[in-house]
């Protein structure tokens, strides 16, 4: 997978920018605040149709503009174009034909993005880890995002129902029963896919952690679900769905009072361990940085091996967070199979061999 052309217009602080990309390794060079991260963000948005840095697509549109455009050509063949509007939904085109399902963009381009804020995946609240694993699963199974969207709609409808006049007047259990059935089915599918993805990615995390830390520490990755009496090996969909339905039933009276569903995929967490010790609670800043780097490189390897197509790797403001040893280990590993974008303020972090095989994009 090779992005050979990039063109953006009215995207963040870039009025207009166009470049032909010729190398596997691309260094985006410039001073702080000039728009390096914004340029890398356009590549992320082109490949994932969302940005980690924007609450809304409209935040990506330059001030005083009604529309932004991101265009890229993949493998000198397929042209992808995103039109973002301040009023109305974005439109996605592939070879000038509109794309009906957004998930189909992954048939043409995929990426793994690693920025300095990703340390929150390891050290902050569970929502960061849920977002991360959902991105991984969506890359492996594009239809997975539809499951997440359906679950979120159900959760919102269920919460609204507890406060609705129809419930307050009738106390009807039929509607709640319908919610329980739907939520137990969708929750089971989300649970199984998340846990399956973690099992697949763990060997790659172990490899990268050992490579980056030069140690043989034992890595642990556990999916922490609120499902009661579920064994780590349990995979039968009917069994899991039944247990979820029972638990939803048991908490129904409490939920009716609070209006909140305190159990389900939206409350689950992931535990990262080194030698059976929580990286989030007790890991040093160095251990946390090494773990998140191993996690991201493992994500890249998993997608490459599973899909037989290397995704684009985006490294935004990452080198400054690493010591010299880990910088060199990382740089020696990227840009071989996967095309790699790296932002930097200076070239002194790169050796001559790396620079000789890189295209430098000056901003």
Give yes or no for a contact between 59 and 65, defined as CB atoms under 8 angstroms apart. no
d(CA 343, CA 315): 7
Summarised one tens digit per residue, pLDDT across range 182-216 is: 999 999 999 999 999 999 999 999 999 999 988 87
Mean of all residue pLDDT scores within the chain? 92
H helix runs in the chain, sequence order: 36-48, 120-123, 126-140, 144-163, 165-170, 174-213, 237-250, 252-258, 279-282, 285-307, 324-331, 352-356
Write the CB contacts of 89 (distance below 8 Å, at least 6 apart in sequence).
Answer: none
Greatest extent of the chain over all pairs of C-alpha atoms, in Å: 74
Give phi and psi for 173, each to the nearest 5: -95, -15
Q: Give the residue-averaged pLDDT of 60-74.
A: 96
**Would you list which residues are annotated within the binding site for ATP?**
30-37
Mean pLDDT value across residues 8-17: 97
216-235: pLDDT as tens digits: 789 999 999 998 877 767 67
Banded pLDDT at 262 (limits 50, 70, 90): confident
Mean pLDDT of 72-83: 97
Confidence band, pLDDT 50/70/90 cuts, at residue 172: low
Token pair 């006049």: residue: 165
Query: pTM score > 0.75 for this model?
Result: yes
Domains of the chain, start order: 1-110+309-363 (3.40.50.300), 121-308 (1.20.1050.90)
Task: Give the SS3 label for residue 234.
Answer: coil
Question: Which residues fall in the annotated binding site?
Answer: 30-37
Lowest mean pLDDT: which of 35-39, 62-66, 260-264?
A: 260-264
């Amino acid at each position: 997978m090779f992005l050979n052309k990039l063109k953006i217009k009215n995207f963040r602080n870039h009025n207009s920018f166009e470049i032909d990309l010729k190398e596997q390794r691309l260094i985006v060079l410039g001073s702080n605040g000039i728009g390096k991260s914004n340029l890398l963000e356009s590549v992320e948005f082109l490949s994932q149709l969302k940005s980690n840095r924007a609450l809304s697509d409209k935040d990506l549109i330059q001030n005083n503009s009604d529309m932004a455009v991101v265009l890229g050509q993949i493998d000198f063949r397929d042209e992808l174009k995103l039109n973002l509007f301040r009023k109305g939904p974005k439109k996605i085109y592939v070879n000038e034909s509109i794309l009906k399902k957004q998930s189909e963009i992954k048939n043409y381009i995929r990426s793994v993005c690693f920025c300095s804020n990703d340390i929150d995946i390891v050290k902050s609240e569970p929502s960061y880890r849920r977002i991360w694993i959902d991105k991984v699963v969506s890359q492996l199974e594009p239809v997975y995002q539809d499951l997440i969207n359906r679950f979120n709609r159900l959760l919102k409808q269920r919460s609204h129902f507890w406060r609705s006049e129809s419930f307050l007047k009738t106390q009807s259990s039929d509607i709640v029963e319908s919610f329980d059935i739907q939520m137990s089915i969708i929750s089971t599918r989300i649970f199984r896919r998340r846990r399956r993805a973690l099992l697949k990615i763990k060997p790659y995390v172990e490899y990268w952690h050992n490579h980056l830390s030069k140690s043989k520490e034992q890595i642990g990755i556990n999916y922490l679900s609120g499902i009661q009496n579920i064994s780590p090996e349990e995979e039968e969909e009917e069994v899991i769905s039944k247990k979820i339905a029972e638990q939803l039933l048991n908490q129904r009276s409490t939920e009716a009072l609070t209006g909140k569903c305190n159990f389900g995929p939206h409350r689950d967490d992931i535990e990262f361990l080194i030698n059976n010790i929580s990286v989030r609670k007790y890991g040093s800043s160095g251990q946390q940085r090494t773990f998140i780097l191993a996690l991201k490189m493992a994500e890249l390897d998993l997608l490459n091996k599973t899909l037989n197509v290397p995704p684009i790797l985006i490294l935004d403001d990452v080198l400054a967070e690493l010591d010299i040893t880990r910088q060199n280990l990382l740089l020696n590993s990227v840009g071989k199979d996967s095309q790699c974008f790296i932002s930097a303020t200076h070239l002194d972090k790169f050796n001559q061999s790396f620079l000789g095989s890189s295209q430098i994009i000056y901003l």
